[in-house]
């Protein structure tokens, strides 16, 4: 083999390697794109499912005072939303509040959040106060 043949052989091998690298790069990008599209589809479906669950929970919260097994008069209930769903001013219909009740509405298998648990504990430990604020102006 003469020098020219060796050079042509090396150049040919390099060209084949570059073509292989380019094809591998394109194939890898295509594969990553296909996997990305599938992942986006799955995550969108999950997001829609979660959104429906949240909306259903919020609808149930707003509707709860009007359901037959709700223990309080809807006219005595005030929606707060966060960190607790409702405050009930028991006796307000008779113009004399005799009790204040905090109500959290849950649906399905949901449980109290850490904030809701801490609020429940504060109420149970009677760490509830009255404060009056007067605007001076």
Q: What is the pLDDT of residues 108-125, one digit of tens each?
A: 788 899 999 999 999 999
Residue 118 belongs to some domain of the structure: yes
pLDDT value for 110: 82
Query: How many CB atoms are located within 10 Å of the residue 110 CB?
Result: 11
Residue 23 belongs to some domain of the structure: no
Helix H or strand E encompassing 46: helix 3-63
- Give residue-wise pLDDT tens across range 56-107: 777 777 888 988 889 999 999 999 988 899 999 999 999 999 999 999 988 7
Domain that holds residue 85: 71-122
69: number of CA atoms within 13 Å, CB side?
Answer: 1
Residue 101 belongs to some domain of the structure: yes
pLDDT value for 82: 84
Cα–Cα distance between 88 and 99 in angstroms, integer? 8
Q: What is the DSSP string of 9-42?
A: HHHHHHHHHHHHHHHHHHHHHHHHHHHHHHHHHH
Residue 76 belongs to some domain of the structure: yes
Residue 78 belongs to some domain of the structure: yes
29: number of CA atoms within 13 Å, CB side?
Answer: 6
Per-residue CA distances from 127 to 46, 79, 120, 124 (Å):
40, 21, 10, 8
Count up the domains in the chain and report the number.
1
Residue 111 belongs to some domain of the structure: yes
Residue 99 belongs to some domain of the structure: yes
pTM of the model: 0.59
Residue 98 belongs to some domain of the structure: yes
Q: Is the pLDDT of residue 44 over 80?
A: yes
């Amino acid at each position: 083999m003469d020098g020219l043949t060796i050079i042509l052989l090396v150049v040919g091998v390099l060209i084949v390697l570059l073509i292989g690298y380019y094809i591998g790069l394109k194939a890898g990008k295509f594969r990553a794109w296909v996997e990305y599209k599938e992942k986006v589809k799955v995550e969108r479906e999950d997001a829609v499912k979660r959104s429906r669950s949240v909306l259903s929970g919020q609808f149930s919260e707003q509707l709860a005072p009007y359901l037959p097994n709700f223990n309080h008069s809807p006219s005595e209930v005030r929606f707060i939303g966060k960190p607790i769903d409702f405050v009930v001013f028991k006796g307000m219909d008779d113009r004399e509040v005799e009790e204040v009740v905090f109500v959290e509405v849950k649906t399905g298998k949901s449980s109290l959040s850490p904030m809701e648990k801490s609020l429940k504990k504060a109420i149970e430990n009677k760490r509830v106060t009255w404060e009056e604020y007067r605007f001076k102006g």
